[in-house]
Structure 1
Amino acid sequence: MTLREADKPTQEFVKEFIESLSPSSIPISGFVDWEGIDNHIGEHQRELHKIEQLSLQSEEVLREDVSKTLVQYHRTERLLTLLFELVSERNGPFVAVEGSWDFKRYAERIENGSQNAADEIAGVLCEIGLYDLLSSISDLDSYVRGVSVGFESDARKGRQGAKFSEAVKPVLSTLEREIQESGIDVELKKEYSIYYGENDNKHKRVDFAFIRDGEPDVVFELNSYTSTGSKPSEIVRGYIETGKLVRESGIEYIWVTDGSGWKDMKAGVKRAYEDFIDFYNYQMLSNEFPRLLGNYYGTDLSSVDITRTSTRKKDEGEGQSGISDFF
């Protein structure tokens, strides 16, 4: 069973879906997490001070000093991670043709007294170019700030999903309240684990779930794509296959997604509508979904004003809501 009846012509749905996409769930003001970057620098002042004290007499002297400092410093992993961050590798492991170096594992070995591990990892850092780098830096804090801005491209991928969830939650919370006021006992849960498949042998954590009588009733998976990605067809196929199994377990499965990346995945939108059906972007969730959810619970939610979940007032006369209204 699905909440939506696929009674709209596919091409009409695809056009509507594409035209109502929100390009991103991250506002301009949140494009770079300046506060997070400044906190990162502030939290690593001791490590930065240690790096500033390293000897730059020669590359060999630096290698020996890095090795000695790693052995002597009481927060080895933090220092080692920051040293690799300076040469543009965050979190690790660092991987090259010659091998792989896991920061945590090497830090543990060094803390357990392994001079060989310290010598080896110091040698790797110098071979990458740590000596030339430190010799050319006049302000280490500013350099780390610049490197951190460079890492923001990957960091935004994580924030994209978090911000999208942040925008969707008030919509679902409003619907939860309206359903409860109609006399139906439901509760909205975030990051809820469900079991499905034959004999409930599969497990999945969904972003949100409506719980009725202690059991998951309607669950929601959320994501946002600002780029197409390498395997869009596999993304859609995965949701279709999971949706089929979840629904066979008596749970309604809703996919809410958005982002400009879908503009180049029209074939995926077409397939998702035809084979998954309960496939919505943020605007569809705000405008169309309340009526469908109301039908499912046997109550009229068609007049629910989802726009009141926004933290901004919409322009008078505008008839549709979007993610930008939330921020």
Structure 2
Amino acid sequence: MNTLYQPEHFDKFIRTLNLKGILQYDYFVNWAKVLNNIEPIEKELNLLNTAVGKENIESVLFDIFKSYPNTIKAIPFLLAIRDKSVDILIDKVNYVHQNFNFKQNNFLDSDIDSLVNFVMQSGLGELIKSKQIKSLPDYCTGVEVGLDSNGRKNRGGTQMEQLVESFVAIFCHDNNLKYLAQANAKKIKDTWNIDLKVDKSSRIIDFVIYREQDKKLFFIEVNFYNGGGSKLKSTATEYIEMSRFWKDQNVEFIWVTDGKGWVGTQNPLKDYFERGNILINIEMLQNDYLKKIIFS
């Protein structure tokens, strides 16, 4: 019997899990995104920078906003706000709110007064006045770097996909096979003229390998978990159903997953495996397990 389905395969999978992670240099900051976000307001930031260190900061800000109203659109960026308008609770007793719109077309003097007050009340104005912020363009870059850290979770998933694709691409090239990345049913139909039913219309498969001699497809889903949690169990449950669904259409489902998160969450993984599903990790990819699967 194929060793891919034997208990020793699962034991080997657990023993060879990647416990160190797959972080690459571009994981930490997406500099292109940071700089692209700042570029449209670079001129405005430099204009606002003339207020740094000014004792009469409120009147200076008023003059800048009045003379160059486009500088107002930079305020949300400096305070790590993605919305173009915010409602502030200004009276907690009577529950009174005030709306601050940073992107309206015409600003009255009263609007500008309110926006200056917003900058001062937020604490940003005092930092500019006291020179604790010495350069607004540099400070804004730091803010964008901080906001970009929210994207690290997605980048971690992307890096796993990139890593796996490097193995898939070489394997397919060496074995005269074709593959697609991020493929849906339409893309498969357009490329290989194979009709597939889908379990949901938005379904996108990380990688699809096509074995032309018998028109067989191999679907590969990829993820990496550094930590545990309910997500691991829900993913295993979803893939059990996906594998069952695709087998009815002569599609082989392959789950490539790794990470120390699985060390303490083995039961969902074992449930997936014991139902006759294919499970491999990064080390197994390195050891040519795709050949064992596709040419077995």
Choose which of 143, 150, 159 in structure 2 pairs with 1:147.
143
Shift of 1:247: 2.9
Q: What is residue 200 of structure 2 aligned with on the other side?
A: 202
Secondary structure of 2:206's counterpart equals strand
Q: What is residue 164 of structure 1 aligned with on the other side?
A: 160
* Change in CA separation of 1:294 and 1:137 when aligned onto 2, cut-off 3 Å: same
Residues 79-118 of structure 1: CA deviation (Å, up to 9, x unaligned): 74x53343234x45888896xxxx9xx66x624x576998
What pairs up with 1:42-191 in 2 under 5 angstroms?
A: 43=39, 44-53=41-50, 61=59, 68=66, 72-73=69-70, 80=73, 83-89=75-81, 91-92=82-83, 110-111=104-105, 113=106, 127-135=121-129, 136-180=132-176, 186-191=177-182
Kindly indicate whether the alpha-carbon contact (under 8 Å) linking 2:223 and 2:258 is maintained by their aligned counterparts in 1: yes
Counterpart of 1:110, as a letter, is: Q
Q: Distance in 2 between matches of 1:8 and 1:252?
A: 20
Greater Cα shift, 61-70 or 224-233: 61-70
Kindly indicate whether the alpha-carbon contact (under 8 Å) linking 1:194 and 1:216 is maintained by their aligned counterparts in 2: no
* Change in CA separation of 1:121 and 1:264 when aligned onto 2, cut-off 3 Å: farther
Shift of 1:283: 1.2
What pairs up with 1:212-223 in 2 under 5 angstroms?
A: 212=211, 217-223=217-223
Paired positions, count: 270
Segments of structure 1 that go 5 or more residues without pairing to the other structure are: 181-185, 296-327
Q: What is residue 292 of structure 2 aligned with on the other side?
A: 291
Shift of 1:193: 0.9
Q: Distance in 1 between matches of 2:86 and 2:274?
A: 42
Q: In percent, how many aligned pairs have the same letter?
A: 21
Residues 144-185 of structure 1: CA deviation (Å, up to 9, x unaligned): 3433443453232222222222221121122212332xxxxx
Q: Distance in 2 between matches of 1:238 and 1:93?
A: 38
* Change in CA separation of 1:216 and 1:256 when aligned onto 2, cut-off 3 Å: same
Q: Distance in 1 between matches of 2:111 and 2:263?
A: 49
Q: Distance in 1 between matches of 2:17 and 2:282?
A: 8
Q: What is residue 272 of structure 2 aligned with on the other side?
A: 272
Q: Distance in 2 between matches of 1:20 and 1:177?
A: 27
Choose which of 21, 40, 47 in structure 2 pairs with 1:24.
21
Kindly indicate whether the alpha-carbon contact (under 8 Å) linking 1:254 and 1:279 is maintained by their aligned counterparts in 2: yes
Counterpart of 2:20, as a letter, is: P
Kindly indicate whether the alpha-carbon contact (under 8 Å) linking 1:18 and 1:263 is maintained by their aligned counterparts in 2: no
| Aligned Cα root-mean-square deviation (Å) | 4.3
- Normalised to the residue count of structure 2, the TM-score between the two structures is 0.69
Q: Distance in 2 between matches of 1:194 and 1:62?
A: 59
Counterpart of 1:157, as a letter, is: K
Q: Distance in 1 between matches of 2:116 and 2:252?
A: 54
- Normalised to the residue count of structure 1, the TM-score between the two structures is 0.63
Q: What is residue 247 of structure 1 aligned with on the other side?
A: 247
Kindly indicate whether the alpha-carbon contact (under 8 Å) linking 1:225 and 1:258 is maintained by their aligned counterparts in 2: yes
Kindly indicate whether the alpha-carbon contact (under 8 Å) linking 1:41 and 1:144 is maintained by their aligned counterparts in 2: no
Segments of structure 2 that go 5 or more residues without pairing to the other structure are: 90-99, 189-195
* Change in CA separation of 1:60 and 1:162 when aligned onto 2, cut-off 3 Å: same
Q: Distance in 1 between matches of 2:141 and 2:134?
A: 13
Q: Distance in 1 between matches of 2:182 and 2:111?
A: 40
